[in-house]
Structure formats: structure tokens, C-alpha cells
């Protein structure tokens, strides 16, 4: 465990007035005036009216009234952590960026987020997750503002406000919160065929990750890397989680949102507090103009991927998150990512969405952080020298001395000057890659952006049967919340262009009275692309239970050896054991030893764990089986295809809960059985039980 943090008073202190007693700082106003009474306002007599001259009260309330800043217009709910990026040097020849030099360790700050919900919404909303990384490099800040899904809904930034309006709560009624299961969202989607590929991803398990630690990240757009010699290479960025990918199932997500709306932020925070630092590999797909020209899709189209089978992902470094924030507002809330923040050796392409983003992020920070000096806030300030002649403005914190505030000047010759190069010199300033540009001014979508169904199909057919069923169920769930039948039918028309089986399952799930016709497509000849195994989560299991948690339901008399064995086996795996008991105080084991519980049963449902162990004693199970929360605990674990370890005493609870044992159940009668149980848990889910699911 890390050391407890400094108390707020200490960390807010610095030099302080001391109390008469000596070592406690005196409370002061913002002006530093010592306060004698912080409990009572100044008034004319004990029962009289408040006095306007109470400057302490007025200042305190004034400051409180202004505590909130506008939440982000999208990605409002997020959670951040500090860490570092360590380069393995594989990109040294491809990019001149210092961040990619072999062995270079660059401090980073990452913020994960959901997109649609407000700041107080629940973590397990079905949504894209933001994965934004700020690299404080020696040559300035580089922001890689990505998502956990490699494509996007739209191809042109002009449509972003419409898309966001349609997805968020409806303007007349102000709901639903953090959900696309409503008419406006599906009206927009079904009128926007370019979103179909993204629809496959968002209604797959990718949009309900088990935790931030178990999800991939993507830069989405094609970027450029530029070498010291000025050679450009196209690049797509990937973050690959060291712990592998894992998602929850929808019924679990719904229940987690009730049981622990902070499930994802708590998970990240606790992992870092425990010293289990989450880690990702940074991977790149590199390709040149020749590949871009022959590739079946336009590499500038953000609704398309480049399959890993076509261009393999090469690992170029690792990201480790090893420090929680000290102050959520100062760091996570005030961090300002801007896609325009690039460093020498990293450049943009003409992806229209990326070009639009480059305007939006800078603009939105002005509103959110209140002025042009948001780069002075410590979380946004580069960790390399910053020297220019920009000055003044709201909250200016960097205020240089002296007379010179312009360039060129003829004063002391020590004020900053630009450094044009040569490019290969490490000191050379940022130069844009001189990509030739010509053409008429038009508002026109390129023909090469017009195939909206082929990659959507490729994603769908690359999934396992269980993952396909989850997509079908998600679409049926969402469209069942849409009141207009014509919108439901319009969506099925699109699905007919993706996969007949998918369209059929959704049409049946909705019970459409009439079978819709396929949507006329801009490019009617959908290509049947080769399936890509990398697109499936289930086909790429982590083969380890590291970083996961078992919830053990225990009563008095729990077998002391089994409990010790389970703790040991999980520790060896790098996993955690949490005890769930009828009372939070804890239980006494069969040897008479006391174990504090981590959760009271009602507050620790099985949805919060990756696998469960049901370990009541034979005496303890009778009372346990009477508790609805105990029956839900096991029934949900089974419905969510979790592995179940169990004591002999547990069978009475299974009977009461109407649960039948299968091969996903592992008996835990002695300490030695625990290794078998943990080995089973490495598969994460007993998917074979899925046969029972519709
Ligand atoms: Fe964003 N996006 N976005 N976005 N985005 C914002 O900037 C925008 C897009 C992403 O944790 C905003 O600081 C436009 C794609 C993340 O602070 C805003 C378009 C991708 C975050 C904005 C897009 C993203 C944002 C709101 C279409 C994945 C959270 C607050 C042209 C590659 C960053 C803010 C954080 C945040 C605009 C599309 C990722 C309004 C106009 C594609 C992870 O500027």
C-alpha cells in the first residue's frame, strides 16, 4: 500500500500562521487574514440580521458559488492517472520525435472517459470509451486523443454536433441519460449509413468493458510519422492492454451501474493504490503511399480500419500508469487534450475528421477552462522550457520580467528565436510535412469513402457465435426502446446489407410485422472481406487471471484451509480475493480465526467480481439461503457464465436459488483444489453455459 496522503491542511499550507498551541496552522481567508470563527456568521445580536461587512462569509460563499466549471460537452465523465511511456526505439528511423528514442522515458497523463453521459453518469453505460494520453516530451506536449474503438460514426466534422445532439438526452424531456436507446439516436444513425461499421463495434461487447485496464485504445485516424531525413510514413496507433481484453455482459452492466456506478474509476484507482500498475503496449501499423493506393478503402476515412492481418501491429514501447491523482479537479478535470498538440516527427493527414478536431479541442478548452492561459495549469504545462511572447490574459501565471515582448528585437540577444533547422538537427523546430495540395474548393465527400457495409460485415463475421448473439441482443434492446416503428425497420434495412442472419435475428427480436427491404447503398456491391480474428475479444483470451478478482461468499465456519488455499492461489496468479459476508464485520473460520469482510452481501453482488467462490459452512448455509441477495449472488454468477468454486455446504444454496451445477463449477473441499479453480478462471467465462441464453 502506498503511504497515506498528506492531510488537506498540510498540503494546502506552505508557510502558515501557527495556533497558540504551536503546530496546527491557522485557518485564513484567501487574503491570508487569520479567521477567529468559522462556525457563525457576523450578525447584529445573536438573533439579529446578518451583516454585509462579514468579508469572511462573503468570500467563502462567493468561492463556493464558482466551484464548478462547465463539464466537457462530450466525454464529461472520466478518470485519469499519471504514468510514463518507455520507448523501445523501434520508431527511431521512422520518426524524429524524441519520445521514440530508444529507452526514452516520457511522463504521461491518461484520461479514460465515456462519451455521452454527464459527469455524474454511471461507468457501465454502453458507450465508446475515450483513451486520451498526454505525453510530456522533451520537445513539447504530444496528445494522442483516442478511443477504445478504432473507427468513428461519421466521416465529416460538420456532422459532429448533430451526432452528439442526437445521442445525448432529448432536448425537450432531458432524458435518457448516458444511453443511445432512444428515438433521436437511432433516427440519426439509421439516416447515416457511414455509421454502420461503428454500430457493429458499439453494440458489441467492446462498449461494455470490464475495466479500463482491459481495453484497447486506438488513435483512429491515419497520422504521419516524419523521419529526420524528412521521409513520411503513415501510421495508425494502437494501445494493447497487457492484461488482455475483457468485457462484461449487458445484464451485468445494468446491475453494476446500480451496485457501483464508479466501478471503472474505482477499479483503476484501486489497482494503482495496490501497486498493480496497469500497462499497455503502444503498437503501430506503418504503411506507405503505395499501400494506401492499393488498399481497398481510403486510409483517410475514419470509418475504416486497416486489418492487422494486412498490416501487422509492431510494438514500439509501453505505457505504465503508476500514480493516482492527488486532486481530481486539478488534474483529471482540468486536463485539456488537444489533437493539434503534436511534436516534431509527428504530423497530421487530410482525414477530414482529424482536421475538424484540430479546431474543436483548442476552442472548447477556452470555454471550459475560462481563458487562453490553460497551458499554465500544472497538468497542462509542458515539462520542457516554454518561451514565447504571448502574454497576459485571464489567470496568467507565467509572467516574464523585462522589456522585450516582441520579436524580432534588438535588445540583449537572449530572447527566444525560431530555429528553422536543418531538420536533422535535434534542435530544429516543428516543420509540417510538405504534402502537395491542390484542387478546387468543394463541399464534397470523396467517392473512396462510399462503401459503408463491407467492413461492418467483416467485423460481424469475425466474431464468435456468442459475440454475434450479443450484438443481436444489443440491437434488439436498443431498438425496442425506439418508439417509431419506421426507425426500427430502417435499421433492419441497413442490417440486411451487412448480414442476412443478423438482420433476421433483429427483425424477429423486434417482431417486425413486415420484412423491410435492404437499404439502397451508394456502393451496392458489398465486398466479402476475409474475417479478421483480431477483431474478436473471445478469440483472443488473456490466458491468465492476473488483475482479476474472486468474490467469496462466506459464513461463520468457512473452511480455514480452503480460504487460506484460495488466498494463496490467487496471490500467486496476481489476482485478488474479496470476502463477502452477511455482515461487514466479518466471519469466524472453522479454526476460530476472524476474517474481516470486504463487503456486506447486499453491497457486494457477484456482478462486481470476475469469478465467485461460494463457501458457506454446512451450519451457515441455512440462514444464508434465506437471503434473497445470496440467491441472486449465485444465480447472477451462473447467468453471467462465471466460474464458480464451491464448498460442500454451498449445494443447499444452489438448490434454493434453482441453480444447476455444470463443468463451470469447481469443488473446493481442500486447499489443493484452489489451484484447479484458479486455472479454470483463466478462461474468464464458461461460455459453454451460453447455450441456455437466447
Ligand atoms: Fe473528440 N472531443 N471530437 N473525438 N474526444 C472532445 O474536447 C470532437 C473524436 C475524444 O479526456 C472535446 O476537451 C470533434 C474522435 C476523447 O479530456 C471536443 C470530433 C475521437 C475526448 C471534441 C471528435 C475523439 C474528446 C470535448 C469530430 C477518437 C476526451 C472536451 C470531428 C479518436 C478527452 C474536450 C479528455 C473530447 C470534439 C471526434 C476522442 C468537443 C469535433 C474521432 C478521448 O473538443
**Has residue 693 got a pLDDT over 90?**
no
Dist. CA 212 → ligand 1 center (Å): 18
- pLDDT tens digits for 436-493? 999 999 999 999 999 999 999 999 999 999 999 999 999 999 999 999 999 999 999 9
The reported pLDDT for the residue numbered 422 is 81
Q: How confident is the model at residue 10 (pLDDT cuts 50, 70, 90)?
A: very low
Over the stretch 615-673, which tens digit does the pLDDT of each residue have?
A: 999 999 999 999 999 999 999 999 999 999 999 999 999 999 999 999 999 999 999 99
Q: Which of 332, 371, 274, 267 is nearest to 82 (CA)?
A: 332
pLDDT of residue 414: 86
* Nearest-CA residue for atom 20 of ligand 1: 146
CATH superfamily, region 456-535: Catalase, four-helical domain (1.20.1370.20)
Identify the three-state secondary structure at position 309: coil
pLDDT at 692: 57
pLDDT for 13 beyond 70: no
Among 69, 70, 73, 74, name the best residue to mutate to test ligand 1's pocket (greatest count of ligand atoms within 8 A of Cβ).
74
Helix (H) or strand (E) holding 266: helix 263-273
pLDDT band, very low/low/confident/very high, at 7 (cuts 50, 70, 90) = very low
Q: DSSP per residue over 169-203, as a string?
A: --TTT----S---SHHHHHHHHT-GGGHHHHHHHT
85 CA distance to ligand 1 middle (Å): 22
CA distance to 210, 400, 603, per residue, from 126 (Å): 12, 48, 23
Q: How far apart are CA 385 and CA 26, in angstroms?
A: 37
> What are the binding residues for heme?
72, 111, 160, 357, 361, 368
Strand extents, DSSP E, 49-208: 78-87, 105-114, 129-137, 140-147
Residues designated as active site:
75, 147
Residues near ligand 1 with C-beta < 6 Å?
72-75, 78, 111, 113, 130, 132, 145-147, 152, 157, 160, 220, 302, 336-337, 353, 356-357, 360-361, 364
- CATH classification number, 549-692, choose in 3.40.50.880, 3.40.50.261, 3.90.79.10, 3.40.50.10490: 3.40.50.880
Burial 160-183 (b: 16+ CB within 10 A, else e): beebeebbbbeeeeeebebbbebe
Q: Which residue has the higher pLDDT, 4 or 193?
A: 193
**Is the backbone peptide bond immediately before 422 cis, with ω within 30 degrees of 0?**
yes
- CA–centroid distance, 93 to ligand 1, in Å, is 30
User: Helix, strand or coil for residue 379?
Assistant: coil
Query: pLDDT-derived band of residue 691, with 50, 70 and 90 as boundaries?
Result: low
* Cα 320 from Cα 292, distance rounded (Å): 32
Q: Is the pLDDT of residue 8 over 60?
A: no
Cα separation, 145 vs 110, in Å, equals 9
**What per-residue confidence (pLDDT) applies to 591?**
98
Ligand 1: nearest atom to the Cα of 132: 43
Q: How confident is the model at residue 11 (pLDDT cuts 50, 70, 90)?
A: low
**Three-class secondary structure assignment of 498-552:** HCHHHHHHHHHHHCCCCCCCCCCCCCCCCCCCCCCHHHCCCCCCCCCCCCCEEEE
Mean pLDDT for all residues in the chain: 95
Task: For ligand 1, atom 29, name the residue with the nearest CA.
Answer: 75
Q: What's the CA gap between 322 and 274, in Å, rounded?
A: 10
Cα of 74 to ligand 1 centre, how many Å? 7
pLDDT in tens, 272-292: 999 999 999 999 999 999 999
Q: Tell me which of 525 and 46 has the higher pLDDT.
A: 46
Q: What is the pLDDT of residues 86-102, one digit of tens each?
A: 999 999 999 999 999 99
User: Atom 24, ligand 1: which residue's CA is nearest?
Assistant: 146
C-alpha cell at 349: 493527414
Which residue out of 70, 71, 75 has the highest number of ligand 1 atoms within 8 Å of its CB and is therefore the one to mutate? 75
The CATH class given to the 78-161+193-376 domain equals: mainly beta
* Residue 192 predicted with pLDDT over 60: yes
Categorize the per-residue pLDDT at 12 as very low, low, confident or very high, splitting at 50, 70 and 90: low
pLDDT tens digits, 395-450: 999 999 899 999 999 998 888 999 988 877 878 899 999 999 999 999 999 999 99
Domain boundaries, the chain: 78-161+193-376, 456-535, 549-692
Helix 500-510 with 485-498: angle, nearest 10 deg: 160
CA 679 to chain centre: 28
Residues of 454-487 as b/e, b for ≥16 C-beta within 10 angstroms? bbbbbbbbbbeebbbebbbbbbbebbeebeeeeb
Of ligand 1's atoms, which has the minimum distance to the CA of residue 221? 32
CA of 304 to the centre of ligand 1 (A): 18
CA distance 593 to 589: 5
Q: Do domains 456-535 and 549-692 have the same CATH topology?
A: no
Amino acid at each position: 500500500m502506498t503511504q497515506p496522503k498528506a492531510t488537506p491542511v498540510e498540503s494546502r499550507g506552505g508557510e502558515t500562521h501557527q495556533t497558540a498551541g504551536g503546530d496546527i496552522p491557522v485557518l485564513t481567508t484567501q487574503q491570508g487574514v487569520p479567521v477567529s470563527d468559522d462556525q457563525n456568521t457576523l450578525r447584529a445580536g445573536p438573533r439579529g440580521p446578518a451583516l454585509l461587512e462579514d468579508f469572511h462569509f462573503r468570500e467563502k460563499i462567493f468561492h463556493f458559488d464558482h466551484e464548478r466549471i462547465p463539464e466537457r460537452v462530450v466525454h464529461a465523465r472520466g478518470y485519469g492517472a499519471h504514468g510514463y511511456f518507455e520507448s523501445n526505439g523501434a520508431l527511431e528511423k521512422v520518426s524524429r520525435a524524441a519520445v521514440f528514442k530508444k529507452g526514452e522515458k516520457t511522463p504521461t497523463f491518461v484520461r479514460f472517459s465515456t462519451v455521452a453521459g454527464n459527469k455524474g453518469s454511471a461507468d457501465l453505460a454502453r458507450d465508446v470509451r475515450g483513451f486520451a494520453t498526454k505525453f510530456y516530451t522533451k520537445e513539447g506536449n504530444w496528445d494522442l486523443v483516442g478511443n477504445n474503438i478504432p473507427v468513428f460514426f461519421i466521416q465529416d466534422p460538420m456532422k459532429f454536433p448533430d451526432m452528439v445532439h442526437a445521442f445525448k438526452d432529448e432536448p425537450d424531456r432531458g432524458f435518457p441519460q448516458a444511453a443511445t436507446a432512444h428515438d433521436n439516436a437511432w433516427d440519426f444513425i439509421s439516416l447515416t449509413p457511414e455509421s454502420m461499421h461503428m454500430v457493429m463495434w458499439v453494440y458489441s461487447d467492446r462498449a461494455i468493458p470490464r475495466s479500463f485496464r482491459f481495453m484497447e485504445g486506438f488513435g483512429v485516424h491515419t497520422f504521419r510519422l516524419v523521419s529526420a531525413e524528412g521521409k513520411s510514413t503513415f501510421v495508425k496507433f494502437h494501445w494493447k492492454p497487457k492484461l488482455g481484453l475483457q468485457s462484461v455482459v449487458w445484464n451485468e452492466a445494468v446491475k453494476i451501474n446500480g451496485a457501483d456506478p464508479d466501478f471503472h474509476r474505482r477499479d483503476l484507482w484501486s489497482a494503482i493504490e495496490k501497486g498493480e500498475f496497469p500497462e499497455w503496449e503502444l503498437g503501430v501499423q506503418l504503411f506507405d503511399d503505395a499501400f494506401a493506393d492499393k488498399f481497398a478503402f481510403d486510409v483517410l476515412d475514419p470509418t475504416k480500419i486497416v486489418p492487422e492481418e494486412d498490416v501487422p501491429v509492431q510494438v514500439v514501447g509501453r505505457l505504465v500508469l503508476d500514480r493516482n491523482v492527488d486532486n481530481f479537479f486539478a488534474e483529471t478535470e482540468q486536463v485539456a487534450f488537444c489533437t493539434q498538440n503534436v511534436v516534431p516527427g509527428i504530423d497530421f493527414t487530410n482525414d477530414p475528421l482529424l482536421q475538424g478536431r484540430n479546431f474543436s479541442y483548442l476552442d472548447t478548452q477556452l470555454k471550459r477552462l475560462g481563458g487562453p492561459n490553460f497551458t499554465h495549469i500544472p497538468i497542462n504545462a509542458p515539462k520542457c522550457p516554454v518561451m514565447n511572447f504571448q502574454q497576459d490574459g485571464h489567470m496568467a501565471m507565467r509572467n516574464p520580467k523585462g522589456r522585450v515582448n516582441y520579436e524580432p528585437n534588438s535588445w540583449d540577444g537572449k530572447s527566444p528565436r525560431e530555429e528553422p533547422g536543418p531538420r536533422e538537427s535535434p534542435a530544429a523546430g516543428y516543420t509540417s510535412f510538405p504534402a502537395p495540395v491542390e484542387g478546387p474548393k468543394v463541399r464534397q465527400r470523396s467517392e473512396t469513402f462510399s462503401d459503408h457495409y463491407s467492413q461492418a460485415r467483416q467485423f460481424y463475421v469475425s466474431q464468435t457465435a456468442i459475440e454475434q448473439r450479443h450484438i443481436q441482443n444489443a440491437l434488439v434492446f436498443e431498438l425496442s426502446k425506439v418508439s417509431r416503428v419506421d426507425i426500427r425497420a430502417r435499421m433492419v434495412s441497413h442490417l440486411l446489407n451487412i448480414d442476412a442472419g443478423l438482420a433476421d435475428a433483429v427483425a424477429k427480436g423486434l417482431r417486425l410485422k413486415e420484412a423491410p427491404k435492404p437499404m439502397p447503398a451508394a456502393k451496392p456491391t458489398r465486398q466479402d472481406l476475409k474475417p479478421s480474428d483480431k477483431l474478436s475479444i473471445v478469440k483472443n483470451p488473456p490466458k491468465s487471471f492476473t488483475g482479476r478478482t474472486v468474490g467469496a461468499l462466506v459464513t461463520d465456519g468457512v473452511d480455514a484451509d480452503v480460504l487460506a488455499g484460495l488466498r494463496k492461489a490467487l496471490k500467486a496468479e496476481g489476482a485478488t480475493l474479496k470476502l463477502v459476508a452477511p455482515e461487514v464485520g466479518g466471519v469466524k473460520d472453522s479454526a476460530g480465526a476472524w476474517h474481516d469482510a470486504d463487503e456486506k452481501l447486499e453491497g457486494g453482488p457477484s456482478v462486481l467480481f470476475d469469478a465467485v467462490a461460494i463457501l458457506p459452512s454446512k451450519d451457515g448455509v441455512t440462514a444464508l439461503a434465506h437471503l434473497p441477495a445470496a440467491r441472486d449472488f449465485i444465480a447472477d454468477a451462473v447467468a453471467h457464465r462465471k466460474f464458480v468454486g464451491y464448498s460442500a455446504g454451498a449445494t443447499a444454496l444452489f438448490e434454493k436459488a434453482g441453480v444447476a451445477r455444470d463443468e463451470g463449477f469447481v469443488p473446493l473441499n481442500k486447499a489443493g483444489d484452489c489451484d484447479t479453480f484458479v486455472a479454470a478462471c483463466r478462461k474468464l467465462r464458461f461460455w459453454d453455459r451460453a447455450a441456455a441464453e437466447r
